[in-house]
């Protein structure tokens, strides 16, 4: 998410696209006439499947991204479920991925997108004869703490009696406002200095295989490797550029909160702070500075003290999570360094913040 061509945000709608994954579930029913559509259940084959979403920034620049990790199944009673690991967002740029995770999807609190659909076996009863069929599908998508229901059409293709493809019949448009992601989009726009369309299009081609079979009716399904349970996030320690880029992004999250006029961390702040502790641990040898800022309400001296105490509270939490006390220090700037004028409730909220920086290099 470096240049995070904020289009990234659009990718979020891509999430909706995730929903379409559920569509793939439909394919399973294709099975064989001789047995129930969902007998033994069906399993999504991620390594043979594709899930893409397209976003638009600065009005004309289209960018395509994917998710590296997703899995799903269709139970014997036709309940289809697909889980998408949002941390596996792949925009082909490391820091752009980080921006998508922390600023848009807020994966530290909402790690997955989940799609479910109850499938009707009668809908695909004639698939063995037709081999390919476009069918409507009603599904629910849970993303960013919000669940929405929608309907789309998918193309179901019977490859073998044990293997089916479920693909988008046309690009699907998704709006970020449906999942309370507009503020995340705004953060992406500000971080990358770009404009982003508040919608994205999703396309996919999912392959499902029958979970088990006692007697094949046609031919055995091709052997497909087990899905890789991995995200795009690099393993091991980060280099200096990666560390500095991550802390710049973390300073924009606006997810570290305190009680009014207090330095006591609110419980939900732990979601982000736990992720920050992990990142600090993967930046060995670097000293990290935690800076507190306030708005201009109240006396300047009181704001200075409050900013110092809040930054110190964050340091104390990170140390309690294993960060070496000698590697992280706190500082307060009170109301002296506002991001924007303190002339509205929204601007004051933005100025009340915690920032992170690398002291070395």
Note the pLDDT tens digit of each residue in 234-275.
789 999 999 999 999 999 999 999 998 999 999 999 999 999
Q: Which residues contact 252 (CB under 8 A, 6 or more apart)?
A: 102, 103, 187, 190, 191
- Antiparallel, parallel or unpaired: β 42-44 and 70-74: antiparallel
User: Which DSSP state fits 94?
Assistant: H
Task: Out of 155-159, 312-316, 337-341, pick the least confident.
Answer: 155-159
pLDDT surpasses 90 at 179: yes
pLDDT surpasses 50 at 72: yes
pLDDT surpasses 90 at 56: yes
pLDDT band at 358 (very low <50, low <70, confident <90, very high): very high
CA 74 – CA 22 distance, rounded (Å): 9
Quote the tokens at residue 235.
């393993």
Task: Out of 27-41, 44-58, 100-114, pick the least confident.
Answer: 27-41
Quote the tokens at residue 269.
């702040």
Contact 16, 36 (CB under 8 A): no
Task: Out of 97-101, 225-229, 341-345, 356-360, pick the least confident.
Answer: 225-229
pLDDT (0 to 100) of residue 276: 96
> Taking all residues of the chain, what is their mean pLDDT, rounded to a whole number?
84
Q: Alpha-carbon torsion 44, 45, 48, 51, what sign? A: positive
Mean pLDDT, residues 199-213 taken together: 85
pLDDT (0 to 100) of residue 230: 56
Quote the tokens at residue 221.
């399904």
CA 147 – CA 281 distance, rounded (Å): 35
Report CA-CA distances (Å) from 162 to 48, 224, 228. Answer: 14, 12, 21
pLDDT band at 36 (very low <50, low <70, confident <90, very high): low
pLDDT (0 to 100) of residue 231: 62
Mean pLDDT, residues 304-308 taken together: 98
pLDDT (0 to 100) of residue 105: 95
CA 248 – CA 4 distance, rounded (Å): 13
Closest C-alpha among 34, 214, 16, 255 to residue 115:
16
Q: Tell me the sheet residues that pair with 205.
A: 50, 167
**Burial zone of 322 (CB within 10 Å; 0-12 exposed, 13-18 middle, 19+ buried):** exposed
Of residues 32 and 335, which shows the higher confidence score? 335
Mean pLDDT, residues 275-289 taken together: 95
pLDDT surpasses 90 at 228: no
CA 108 – CA 145 distance, rounded (Å): 12
Quote the tokens at residue 250.
């973390």
SS3 state of residue 246: helix
Angle in degrees, CA 335, 186, 275, rounded to 5:
75
Quote the tokens at residue 142.
């849970």
Residue-wise pLDDT for 128-166, tens only, equals 899 999 999 898 999 999 999 999 998 988 898 888 888
DSSP one-letter string for 20-44: HHHHHHHHGGGS-TTS-TTTT-EEE
pLDDT band at 96 (very low <50, low <70, confident <90, very high): very high
How many percent of the chain have pLDDT more than 70?
84
pTM of the model: 0.83
CB atoms within 10 A of CB 37: 23
Closest C-alpha among 213, 204, 207 to residue 164:
207
pLDDT (0 to 100) of residue 37: 60
pLDDT band at 4 (very low <50, low <70, confident <90, very high): very low
pLDDT band at 106 (very low <50, low <70, confident <90, very high): very high
How many percent of the chain have pLDDT more than 90?
62
- Antiparallel, parallel or unpaired: β 328-332 and 288-293: parallel
Task: Out of 55-59, 64-68, 220-224, 315-319, pick the least confident.
Answer: 220-224
């Amino acid at each position: 998410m470096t240049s995070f061509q904020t289009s990234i945000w659009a990718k979020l709608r891509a999430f909706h696209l995730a929903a379409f994954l559920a569509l793939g579930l439909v394919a399973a029913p294709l099975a064989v006439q001789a047995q129930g559509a969902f007998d033994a259940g069906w399993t999504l084959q991620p390594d043979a499947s594709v899930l893409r979403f397209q976003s638009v920034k600065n009005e004309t620049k289209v960018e395509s991204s994917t998710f590296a990790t997703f899995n799903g199944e269709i139970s014997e009673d036709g309940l289809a479920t697909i889980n998408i690991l949002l941390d596996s967002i792949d925009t082909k740029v490391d820091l752009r991925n980080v921006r998508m995770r922390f600023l848009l999807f807020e994966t530290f609190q909402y790690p997955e997108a989940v799609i479910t659909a109850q499938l009707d076996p009668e809908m695909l009863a004639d698939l063995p004869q037709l081999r390919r069929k476009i069918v409507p599908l009603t599904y629910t998508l849970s993303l960013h703490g919000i669940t929405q229901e929608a309907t789309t059409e998918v193309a179901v293709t019977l490859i073998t009696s044990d293997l089916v493809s479920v693909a988008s019949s046309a690009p699907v448009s998704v709006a970020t406002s449906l999942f309370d992601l507009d503020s995340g989009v705004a953060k992406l726009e500000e971080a990358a200095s770009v404009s982003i369309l508040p919608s994205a299009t999703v396309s996919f081609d999912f392959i499902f295989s029958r979970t088990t079979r006692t007697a094949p009716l046609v031919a055995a399904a091709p052997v497909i490797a087990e899905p890789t349970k991995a995200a795009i996030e690099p393993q091991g320690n980060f280099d200096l550029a990666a560390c500095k880029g991550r802390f710049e992004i973390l300073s924009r999250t606006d997810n570290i909160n305190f009680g009014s006029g207090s330095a006591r961390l609110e419980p939900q702040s732990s979601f982000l702070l736990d992720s920050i502790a992990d990142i600090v641990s993967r930046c060995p040898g670097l000293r990290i500075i935690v800076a507190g800022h306030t708005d201009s309400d109240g006396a300047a001296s009181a704001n200075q003290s409050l900013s110092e105490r809040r930054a110190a509270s964050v340091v104390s939490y990170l140390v309690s999570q294993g960060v070496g006390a000698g590697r992280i220090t706190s500082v307060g700037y009170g109301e002296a360094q506002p991001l924007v004028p303190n002339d509205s409730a929204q601007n004051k909220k933005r100025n009340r913040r915690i920032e992170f920086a690398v002291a070395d290099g």
